[in-house]
Structure formats: C-alpha cells, structure tokens
Amino acid sequence: MSQPEVDGRMAPRVHYRFGNEFSPANRHGRVELTVTADGGARLDHHDVARVRRWTARLDPVVWPRLLDELRRSSFPVVEVPPIPPGGTSHQIEVVGADLAGELVLARAAASGAGLAGALRILDSLVHQLSGGAVRATRDELPPVAHWIVAEPAEAGAAAGAASFGMVGGAPAYAVTTPENSFRLFSVPDGEPRGASTRSSAPIRALALGAAGARELLATGGDDQIVKVWDVNTGAELHARGGPEGAVRAVTAPVVGGDGWIFAAGSDGRVWSWRMAGGVIEERGAISGWTGSLNDVCFARVADLDLVAAGGDEGVVYVWNVADGSNLHTLSGHQGWVNAVSMMGSGRKGLLASGGADGVVRVWDLATGKQVHSLVGEAAGASGVGQTAGVTGVVFGEVAGRPVVASCALDGMLRLWDVTSGDALGAWPCGGDWPSGIAAVQTGDRSMIVTSCADGPVRGWDVAGGRLVLELTADALGGAVTALAAGRSGDRTLLATGYPDGGMRLWDAASGSPVRTHRPADGRVASVAFGLSGGAPVLVTGDATGTVRVDDVGSGEVLSVPTPHTGSVMALGFAAIGDRDVVVSGSADGTVRIWDAVTGAPLRRMLGHLAAVTAVTAGRVGDRMVVVSAGRDRVVRTWDAATGEPLHGGHGHPAPVYCLAFGTLEHRPVIASGGQDGTVRIWEAATGAELHVLPGNDGTVTALAFGATDGTSFLAVATDDDAVRVWRLPDGLLARETRLAQRPMAALFSAPDRFYVAGRSGLAVVDII
C-alpha cells in the first residue's frame, strides 16, 4: 500500500510495531502495522521462515476512534515503566496528525498508561488483516477491516521431507522434490517406485504408513490440507477441504430433516456440511464472489431452501440449496455488506441487508426488488436513521407484525416496521462496537438482544421499548464477539462467543449462566444453534478458518470438520484400537487425528503456543500416545484415543523439529531435537527428562533409534550434512559420518546399520 499524500504531504498515519523474528524467545516474529487517515491499512509480518503482507480498507470509524483513544492517554507524553529484560517492546508512532510523536512500552503497561483502548484497536486490526495468523494479538472488535488482500509470501521452497515405509510389500522411502511433488524409491537399491504430479503448493511433510493391508502415503503443506494416497494404485483417497482464511459467519438450519452448516468467510466462498446420523459430511463450496463474505443466512420460502450471503463487493446473492442455482443478485449498497437476514412466511419471503453505507435495505425474495431503504428520512418521522456502518440485522415480530432490527457502529439498536418502513424506536446497545444481534421469544415477550465488544449484552422488550435483560461486562467475562439465540428443550438460550475461542450459554428469560464452553484457538466470529441427529448443537466459525460443532448439553466438542488453518508441517501414522489414523501437526498450533482411509476428523488437540513442526506416535503400555513439538519449544504427549494431554517436556531453548519413539532399558522413550542441535530423551510414561546429547552441530533434521547386541543407539542427522550415532544410555559418540546431501529421514536396519534418505538418494551409516 503506497502512502497517500494530501497537498503534496504524506497523509497522517499511525505505525504500530512489535516483536523480533530473530529472537528465540519471540515465537511470533516481527509485526509492523500502518493505519492511514484515508482508511487504508498495511500489515507486514516477518518470521524466521518468510515475510507476509496484507493490505485492507477500514471502516471510517476506525481512524477517529484510534486518535481519540490516543488523546485520552495524553499521547505521546505518557509515563511508562521500563521494559523488563527479555520483554517485547511495543512501539506506537503517529505521523502527520495533531498528536504526532512516538512511544515505546511493554504490552503489560498499556492499561496503566491509559493506552488499553488504542492497543485494543491496533491488536484487533493486526488479527483481522492477518486472518489470525499473528497469534500474539487478540481481536476484540467486530469486522472493521475489508477488502483484505494478501500479497504473495516471500519464501523459498520447502526445506524438504522424507519418510521410510513399505511399497508393494518391500521397504521404500518417499521424498519431496523442489518442484512441489514427491517420489518413491525402493530400499536399499534406490530403484524408482513412483512419483506424483506437481502440487499447487509446497509439500512440507509426508509419511508412509498403512491401513490394514493397504499401503498409504500422507502429504501436507502450504495448502493446509492432509492428502492420503494409495501408493500402489496412485489413487487419492481423501483431501478434506475447507475455508481458506477467516470464517466470518455461520448458520445451521434444518434442511430436509437433517442439520446443515453453511459457513462464509474471507475466501469468498460458502462451504457446507450435512449433519446426519452422527456423521458430518462435507458437501463442497459455492464460489463466485469477489472479496470476503461477511454474513450468511437461511430461510425456507415457497417450498425452496434458500441461503443468502453478502460481503465486501456490496452485493447480496441468494441461491437455492437443492441445486445451487443463483436466484437473485441484489445490488444497491454503497460499500461492503456486513449483515443479512431472511424471513419466510409461506410463499412470501423478505431479506434485509446492511453495511458500510448505514442503510438497511429490505428486499422481496419473490421478485428480487427492493422494498425499503431504511435510513434518514426514509426511516420515518422520528428521523431514526443509521449514522455509521450497520453490523447486524435481524427479523422479528411485535404484536404479530413483522419488524426488522439493526445495530450499528454508532452504538444504537434501531427497529422498523417491515410493512410500512416506519421507525419504531432506537435504543443504546451499551457500547461503541456492537458485535451481534438476535431476535428472542421468551413466553409472550419478544426481545431484540444485542452484544458489544466493549459493553454489555442487552435485551429490549420491543413492544414497550423497555430494557428487560442486561448481562454486564463483569458477568460476561470479557469482550463478546458473537451472539446467537436458540432453543434447547423447553427454554430459550443465548450464546456468546469470545476472542479466546470460548463460548458461554445463558438462559434468555432470566439471564442466568447455563454453561461455559472451553476456549479454542481462534476468536469466535460467528455462532449459531443447530441440530445434529436431533440433538441441539452449537456451531461456531472463528477467525482462523475453523468451524467447530459443540454439544449444547455437555459443552463437549463433537467435531471440527474443517482442515488445518495453517501449513501442515508434520505427519505420521498410528493405530487406535482397530482404526488406522493419520496424525498431523500444523503452523496453526494444533495437532489433528484423522481416519486414514476416509479422512474423517477424529480429534483436535490444543496446547501448543506456536507452530507444530514434528509429530510421532508409539505405544506406552496399553495406550497409544501421540507426541508433538514445535516452535514453542515444548514436547507434548497426548492420549491418542481421547485427545487428552498427558505431559509437557520443557527444556529445549530453541524450536523442536524432530521426534522419534524408541525403547531404552526396556521402557518406551522419546527423542527430540531441534534448531540448536541438542537432543533430549524423555521417559514416555512420565515425561521425565532422562538424557541430553549436546554434541550435534546444526539443526536436527532426523532421529532414529536402533539396537545391536542388546545395546541401544540413536542416530541424529543434522543440516550440516552429518549423521552422528550415539550409544545409550551413556551418551558416547559411536560414529560420525559426513554425507553429500542434507539428511531428511533415518531408519534402523538390523543388525547394525541406519539408512538415511535425502533428495540425492539413500546413504548407509554403519554403527560399528
């Protein structure tokens, strides 16, 4: 984004910078955000692997509110404590405005310095522009960044990956190529056994494994999808797709007796899943939009199941679920559309939309014609019109007549008669950043409920214009980023979503808390009630691109049908009971378990604070254990059957890139190695550290256990083209071999050798 000029001068702007991509203590790299007075924004994110850049247009309220927050703190003359040793500095610089200046502070000092409001806006912009990729920030605002464009990342090809396994009943290895493909070779003669075509994205991980008698290969990379192939037939068994970028809206209607999920987001597509018989089946995506989609809704009208979506291009599309045909393209908004809602009654239906132009437009779904433009004088004699962008719309009823309500960035809830277009009232939402709106029926009372990122949840009796429900910020437990209403049994519930991915349920009639759903890994951008197998579920879409289905009754996560939301960095195979599975680790910080044959998602493990770059699995007693590690420098173990965390091994001073399961002195152990060359050995059952092998130069690229004549050995390969074989448990160096290539995978072959694979072929390292 070039810097705009005003009268030959650089336009006013705010720079926000923090982090260091070269510091091992900083997991999130360096971030530089620029916000300009004309509504532009640019974000640069530097980490050790690549540089990513995004540009966007911001809602007009952002710039003045950011400056107002800075003025309240007396910026730049603010007393701040010194940054503690090892702390991360945050720099705010204002150029060209009346409060020009610069300030450097620790993030923890923001509240005491009166800068919490300004940093909340800046952190939210970082999160929204990056689609949650910069995990050091929280997004506590409704969507205010639009037309987000990600520039091509500056990154070299993937470093390469290799794996040993079986092909055609004989030992083999697979290795990636610089051309984003993979090749198969036999062991030990290195004869070609097959190859893939070029992938559209770099492959960063692969693994050979099996499911029953079928030999498989799993691959993953920057397209974020785990793909599994039958290595003997070449058939691709599965490659589960999903949103590429933030999910900004979800709806979960019942269609044809089954629960469905529709999710819309920043990739300009609407993805769908069918929930039937306890199975969530991906049904593909509808595309064709330009820019992000910001809201999606459903209604049944004239025996047709309709879905509508609106987004940054300012157009609302309506299509028929049965055949995917487009019924209407509704144009009229000036600027992006933030919110849509539909109402069906027999053969009649209406759609309401609102967005950046501050107008609520009502459309006839039979004709596609606009019925009302609700703003300014058109809002009625009271003059109740929007003065800022609309963030939510919903249909409801008052005394049997249809109404439409909206919330906007001026902090107001407004209500109109749908038939006449007359304004019925306006009430304060309680905050400047309304994030959700819902129509609620409790007994004989009709309520419109709103949520705010910086205030309470309020419910208004729209017939009498009285405030009848208020959940304070203290009761809510934090900024509310999403709101929905639904039924469970004989009562109406409200669901509130939060920046940490958590949710809470409330009794809509009394306002009493019902249940808390545990946090996940991304800001809840949208939430909806639905049905799966006749049981009520809660569906969420988050800023990382994840769709999650929770059981309303227990709060347990039932399924995450979407793929990883970051590059797939590590893969492995395992068996849980009689089920063969694939384990994957990703730059999104999650570990996932998938059915090896069908690709059905089985488990998602949360706990890592940065990218997961290594996974493996092994048996500990009668339990299958998954091991993961990555850039947060922690080695974690999980129960593969339940996904429950077991142990966390701390001690690595730098990112961990390799793991291996083995046996030492008749007990299962785990070896881990990474960027600093140090290898640590852990007891798998307890997580206790047993040994440290510090004598490896370079980054560890492969590990493998072996045993000869009752003596255990560990092969350690590093990116200085060396393989060192260590005797265990005394830690003596048994052999050091220099190769003519970068080693990528190692395998012990009885009685006394290791095979080491790389892009140039296979090498043999004898133990003695």
CA atoms in the 13 A half-sphere facing the CB of 682: 26
Model pLDDT, residue 2: 47
Q: In the structure, what pLDDT confidence band is assigned to residue 615 with cuts at 50, 70 and 90?
A: very high
Task: Confirm whether 5-154 and 162-226+564-766 share one CATH topology.
Answer: no
How far is Cα 349 from Cα 326, in angstroms, rounded to an integer? 16
Average pLDDT over residues 1-25: 69
21 backbone dihedrals φ, ψ, rounded to 5°: -70, -15
- Residue 4 in this model has a pLDDT that exceeds 50: no
| Average pLDDT estimate for 97-108 | 88
pLDDT for res 83: 78
- Which CATH class name applies to 329-559? mainly beta
Confidence (pLDDT) at 86: 66
CATH top-level class for 5-154?
A: alpha beta
* Rounded distance between C-alpha atoms, residue 122 and residue 237, angstroms: 44
**What backbone torsions phi and psi does residue 127 show, to the nearest 5 degrees?**
-65, -45
What phi and psi values does residue 65 have, to the nearest 5 degrees?
Answer: -70, -35
- The answer to which of 83-97, 499-513, 600-614 has the lowest mean pLDDT is 83-97
The answer to whether residues 131 and 246 touch, using CB atoms and an 8 Å cutoff, is yes
Q: Which of 118-132, 151-165, 401-415, 436-450 has the lowest mean pLDDT?
A: 151-165
Distances (CA, A) of 592 to 226, 344, 612: 10, 40, 11
Exposure string for 502-527, b = 16+ CB within 10 A, e = fewer:
bbbbbbbbebeebbebeebbbbbbbb
The answer to which of 154-168, 429-443, 487-501 has the lowest mean pLDDT is 154-168
Q: Mutual orientation of helices 116-130 and 62-72 as an angle, nearest 10°?
A: 150
State pLDDT tens for residues 664-680. 999 999 999 999 999 99
Taking 90 as the threshold, does the pLDDT of residue 624 lie above it?
yes
**Distance of alpha carbon 297 from alpha carbon 433, whole angstroms:** 22
Domain segments of the chain as ranges: 5-154, 162-226+564-766, 329-559
For residue 374, is pLDDT > 60? yes
Q: What is the pLDDT of residue 569?
A: 96
In whole angstroms, what is the distance from residue 187 CA to residue 191 CA? 8
**Residue scoring higher pLDDT (737 or 382):** 737
**pLDDT tens digits, residue range 159-174?**
789 999 999 999 999 9
Give the pLDDT band (50/70/90) at residue 294. Answer: very high
Average pLDDT over residues 99-112: 86
Among candidate residues 307, 381, 371, the one with its CA nearest the CA of residue 341:
307
Class of residue 740 by CB neighbours under 10 A (exposed 0-12, middle 13-18, buried 19+) = exposed
pLDDT at 280 over 50: yes
Lowest mean pLDDT among 104-108, 171-175, 601-605: 104-108
Q: What is the 3-state secondary structure (H, E, C) of 207-224?
A: EEEEECCEEEEEEEECCC
Specify the higher pLDDT residue, 612 or 519: 612
490 Cβ contact partners less than 8 Å away, ≥ 6 residues apart: none
CATH number of 162-226+564-766: 2.130.10.10
Q: Which two tokens stand for residue 236?
A: 């691709």
